[in-house]
Amino acid sequence: MFPTSAVKFPPTKQVENNHADVAFNPLYNRQVAVVDQSGRWTIWDNEPRHSKKAQPRLVPGKSGHILDDYNPDPLLRIPEHYLIDGWYRIFWVCNLTTILVCSRTHVAIFDIRSKPVRLDSTEFLVAKGIEVILDIKRSAASLDHVFVLTSLRIYWIQVIPPGKKADGSEVSGTVKMQLSYRHFRNENDDTMRLTLLQDDFSECFHRDWTRQIETVVVAHADVS
């Protein structure tokens, strides 16, 4: 993008509510992802400007909803605020064609090479219906590692994107749990946040701060 350019998202059917989160593609800065407060997401492409006088233009591309192709266990209780909280996060993981969409109680990963397809993964929240997601971050050292802070735990997951083997056969993508750690903080404190700090050998994946108690909890994860 030109440094002085300003781009507005045009009203579309893909995004029907206020935006909840926006993220640039770290591997292609002319592409941006948006998720609204209902969980509907859209990938936008910024068309190149052919002259300084030309106005930048955003064109909608792939789109979907966080619950597309999701078949939950009917015995699991979903909290009421799942529908009314409006908190969602979206960002790219692994490569140009894999995105993660997150709500307070659900993480979905989509392959967007063609029609968006949800990657197979198990529900990793231990206390479904009680545990809520407070923050989520992609690793600064590796695009396929993601850290999730919930009201009860810290999760470290690895996203393995779909691809092709040397013989041309397709490999399905999946999500692999690397760590589930109980942090023993106040589960009713929704001000806890996650900060990633990278050093030469490992990544500090949990700097847990809260407005209620001035405490910092630090842990290290080797993502090399």
Asked whether residue 30 is domain-assigned, the answer is: yes
Residue 16 corresponds to which amino acid?
Answer: E
Residue 133 neighbours by CB under 8 Å, 6+ apart: 102, 103, 104, 105, 107, 125, 148, 149, 150
Split at pLDDT 50, 70, 90, the class of 185 is confident
Asked whether residue 47 is domain-assigned, the answer is: yes
Q: How many domains does the chain have?
A: 1
Asked whether residue 113 is domain-assigned, the answer is: yes
Tokens at 181, concatenated: 């750690």
pLDDT tens digits, one per residue of 191-217:
888 887 765 444 554 445 455 444 455
Domain extent, residue 50, equals: 19-221
pLDDT tens digits, one per residue of 108-146:
999 999 899 998 876 776 556 678 899 999 988 889 999
Asked whether residue 92 is domain-assigned, the answer is: yes
Residue 218 predicted with pLDDT over 80: no
Asked whether residue 200 is domain-assigned, the answer is: yes
Asked whether residue 4 is domain-assigned, the answer is: no
pLDDT tens digits, one per residue of 6-64:
666 666 655 567 889 999 999 998 899 999 999 999 999 987 766 666 677 788 999 99
Bigger pLDDT: 2 or 123? 123
Per-residue confidence (pLDDT) for residue 184, from 0 to 100: 82
CA quadruple 55, 56, 62, 68: dihedral sign:
negative
Per-residue confidence (pLDDT) for residue 14, from 0 to 100: 54
Measured CA to CA, the distance from residue 39 to residue 31 in angstroms comes to: 19
Measured CA to CA, the distance from residue 219 to residue 184 in angstroms comes to: 14
Per-residue confidence (pLDDT) for residue 61, from 0 to 100: 92
- Could you give the percent of the chain with pLDDT greater than 70? 67
Split at pLDDT 50, 70, 90, the class of 1 is very low
11 by Cβ neighbours in 10 Å (0-12 / 13-18 / 19+) ranks as: exposed
pTM of the predicted structure, to 2 decimals: 0.80
Per-residue confidence (pLDDT) for residue 2, from 0 to 100: 47
H or E stretch including 198? strand 197-198
pLDDT tens digits, one per residue of 64-120:
999 998 877 665 555 444 446 789 999 999 999 999 999 988 899 999 998 999 988
Bigger pLDDT: 82 or 186? 186
Asked whether residue 167 is domain-assigned, the answer is: yes
Asked whether residue 126 is domain-assigned, the answer is: yes
